[in-house]
Amino acid sequence: MSAQTSSLRPPRPRHVRVLATLGPASSTAEQIRALYEAGADAFRVNMSHGDDASKQALIATVRSLETDIGRPMTILADLQGPKLRVGRFEQDRVDLTAGQRFVLDGQDAPGNAKRVRLPHPEILAVLKPGHRLLLDDGKIVLRVVKRLDDGVETEVLVPGMLSNNKGVNVPDVVVPLPALTTKDRRDLALALESGVDWIALSFVQRADDVAEAKKLIGGKASLMAKIEKPAALEDIDAIIELADAIMVARGDLGVELPPQQVPGVQKQLIAAARRAGKPVVVATQMLESMIVSPSPTRAEVSDVANAIYDGVDAVMLSAESAAGKWPVEAVAMMDSIAREVETDAAYEGQIGFVETAPEPTTADALCQAAHSITVTVGAKAVVGFTTSGSTARRIARERIPANILVMTPKLATARRLGLTWGVHAVHTRDIGSFEEMVAKSKRMALRHKVAEPGDRLVVMAGVPFGVPGSTNVLHVVRVVGDELARYTKKD
């Protein structure tokens, strides 16, 4: 894609972003384009599924669409993380009854009604009496009653049918496993080689997990920490500080926490990320029924709307768009829910529930002032110039009720900003003077239809130009009718 103006498409008529997972139902160029046209702003590639060739093909197809449409496309590669599973049974399954004793051990023999292998010695080593094990997404609950030489003896608290290779969650301990498995390291290398923009790190329990992954990424992509383990909540401030964004991954989080606690934790995580100025994504079961149904339940619509009212940066579709029967309809529904919420008169007051106090920096002070000025003078858009993306993230942190048009000479920055609230990023030539900044702001606002003649713009940049993190200019301008005709050829 050229370093000239990268898109003449206007911004979406909403601020929140829609992240759609790709899969069997959305793997062709036609299907992915249909998701984009329906409202998808970014695409997730689940590294848990498929071979290397299929993952590379998905990424290449999105990049082809990027060239065709002329808009920077955002791709997130989601690493699998360690998966804890029981072994196999002699008869493929057993029926566990309430109160019975059941052993988890390291023996390689097939399991039976009395025992089964747990092929994770690190887990067996740290389990103590009183610790719970949640099997098959929490459908079966065991409690450790005794340590054994080669395992643990448990009591069945919640009974059920347990079959081969079902998942295991251990909510009461910090699991002594790295967030990056050998498979994850291979997938990470593949994703970076393929040019993805974001890496989602699963199984984050501590800030050190994030630090290790960022070292391996080496600045080639941004890092999103998935919050799905209760242990992560104990170290959340440090995790958010190190990560570039977080995801409220309510799948495992909803298994390991009592379900009634998840909504409150979700709000706390959104607020913490917003205060830090880091993008936050809410994921899992948002429109789950649309995997098989062309319309969602009322509860699902309320769930999506609630996250948007809280000012989340993006909402994510998983199986709904990857493997469901109605992928395009699911994206369109997410888009329409977002538009409806953001036109609600109460929306601006709702997203203001988080106080984002500025850091004692010039950039933060100017971005806070930009919000006040935009509201006071009725500016139609805030225009920012950025190299690293920091100016854009600071503007978005204020949840300014206007279009946010961000211009950058770095295509990688434009792509990564696709998960940031309200930001319409444009890859274009850099500016070299104050006069050029003012002129380009006006003509680009017209070209991208974020303003019309007579409208005011709030313009932000850093001087000297091209120096990352130096936002120190705020300027209010009025768009005039002949700007577009006079300056189009200079972009």
**Annotated catalytic residue, options 14, 44, 274, 397:** 44
Residues 6 or more apart in contact with residue 489 via CB below 8 angstroms: none
Give the separation between CA 260 and CA 317, rounded to whole angstroms. Answer: 22
Q: pLDDT tens digit string along 294-315? A: 999 999 999 999 999 999 999 9
Question: pLDDT band at 490, cuts 50/70/90?
Answer: low
**Annotated catalytic residue, options 85, 93, 139, 339:** 85
**Annotated catalytic residue, options 21, 61, 154, 284:** 284
**Average pLDDT of 174-181?**
89
Q: Quick one: pLDDT at residue 1? A: 52
Residue 6 in tokens:
């990268």
Q: Quick one: pLDDT at residue 4? A: 44
Residue 326 in tokens:
């109605």
Query: Among 22-36, 155-169, 268-282, 341-355, where is mean pLDDT lowest?
Result: 341-355
Task: Examine the residue annotation and report whether 182 is marked as an active-site residue of this protein.
Answer: no
* 481 has a pLDDT exceeding 80: no
Query: pTM here?
Result: 0.92
Contact predicate 374/400, CB 8 Å: yes
Count of other CB atoms within 10 angstroms of residue 203: 25
Question: pLDDT band at 482, cuts 50/70/90?
Answer: low
Cis peptide before 464 (omega within 30 of 0): yes
Q: pLDDT tens digit string along 356-410? A: 887 888 888 999 999 999 999 999 999 999 999 998 999 999 999 999 999 999 9
The domains found in the chain, sorted by start residue, are 17-82+179-350 (3.20.20.60), 93-169 (2.40.33.10), 362-490 (3.40.1380.20)
Task: Examine the residue annotation and report whether 132 is marked as an active-site residue of this protein.
Answer: no
What residue has token string 């384009």? Answer: 33
Give the separation between CA 184 and CA 217, rounded to whole angstroms. Answer: 12
Q: C-alpha 9: how far from its chain's center?
A: 24
Pairing of strands 151-158, 140-148: antiparallel
Contact predicate 453/479, CB 8 Å: yes
CA dihedral 349, 351, 356, 362 (to 10 degrees): -80
Residue 122 in tokens:
């690190």
SS3 annotation, 240-282: HHHCCEEEEEHHHHHHHCCHHHHHHHHHHHHHHHHHHCCCEEE
* 266 has a pLDDT exceeding 90: yes
**Average pLDDT of 76-97?**
95
Query: Over the Cα atoms of the chain, what is R_g?
Result: 24
CA dihedral 362, 364, 370, 372 (to 10 degrees): -110
Task: Examine the residue annotation and report whether 166 is marked as an active-site residue of this protein.
Answer: no
Where is 383: in which H helix or E strand? strand 381-385
**Average pLDDT of 13-35?**
97
**Residue 259 burial (10 A CB sphere; 0-12, 13-18, 19+):** exposed
Question: pLDDT band at 239, cuts 50/70/90?
Answer: very high
Task: Examine the residue annotation and report whether 391 is marked as an active-site residue of this protein.
Answer: no
